[in-house]
Amino acid sequence: MKTYNKSNFFKHTFCEFTQIDDFDLPKKTVYLSKSNSMYFYTDEGVYRKSNHWGRVANCRWKLIANKNYKNQNTVTAFAKWDDFYPINSSEKNFYIDVNFDKKTVVIRPKKEKEVLYLFSLSEAQKRSKQIMHLFKNDKWAKYFDNDIEILRVKIISDFINSNLALSEIKRRFK
């Protein structure tokens, strides 16, 4: 696993920053980006003050925000150095977390959680889109005899825990 620090964390990484309400960046920030994001480095990680999250240059940085956060508000957030993951196409560092009750799909870094199957970020994103299609559209299920909700759980569970194509998994249930 690659080790990240202040000299490389901004190069093709995925990270989840946590909003911090009780921290003011020092007047002398370590780095000010072209888009006016401010960065302050510590031995443990990095503080970022910005009004934009998600796709940041060549990175994918998510904000774990407080309930009162509104998009485009400037907030300060923190991430530890070991919260950064490479998003190159070869390393499998992500799993897909599905909430069947809320019909949501979230891509998460593996961290210490033991998961059945890991994906590269691009593969996880592709599968996530396919899963959302299964949640939103019922037309695909008209060729099956099973209850759609039960079928949906079985197909999606197999899909996030294997490297099989969605079409191959669906064929198994016909």
Pairing of strands 13-19, 45-50: unpaired
pLDDT in tens, 158-171: 999 999 999 999 99
Q: Which stretch of DSSP H or E encloses residue 48?
A: strand 45-50
For residue 151, which amino acid is it?
L
- Give the C-alpha separation, 120 to 127, whole Å: 11
Is a pLDDT exceeding 80 seen at residue 98?
yes
pLDDT value for 124: 93
pLDDT in tens, 82-91: 999 998 767 8
- Give the C-alpha separation, 172 to 165, whole Å: 11
pLDDT value for 27: 75
pLDDT value for 112: 67
Residues 42, 73 contacting (CB under 8 angstroms): no
- Give the C-alpha separation, 34 to 29, whole Å: 14
- Give the C-alpha separation, 6 to 125, whole Å: 27
Q: What is the mean predicted confidence (pLDDT) over 64-86?
A: 88
Is a pLDDT exceeding 70 seen at residue 1?
no
pLDDT in tens, 119-161: 999 999 999 999 999 999 888 888 888 888 999 999 999 999 9
Local confidence band at 31 (pLDDT 50, 70, 90 cut-offs): confident
Residues 144, 173 contacting (CB under 8 angstroms): yes
Helix, strand, coil percent values for the chain (each to nearest 5): 25, 30, 45
Residues 77, 48 contacting (CB under 8 angstroms): yes
pLDDT > 90: percent of the chain = 60
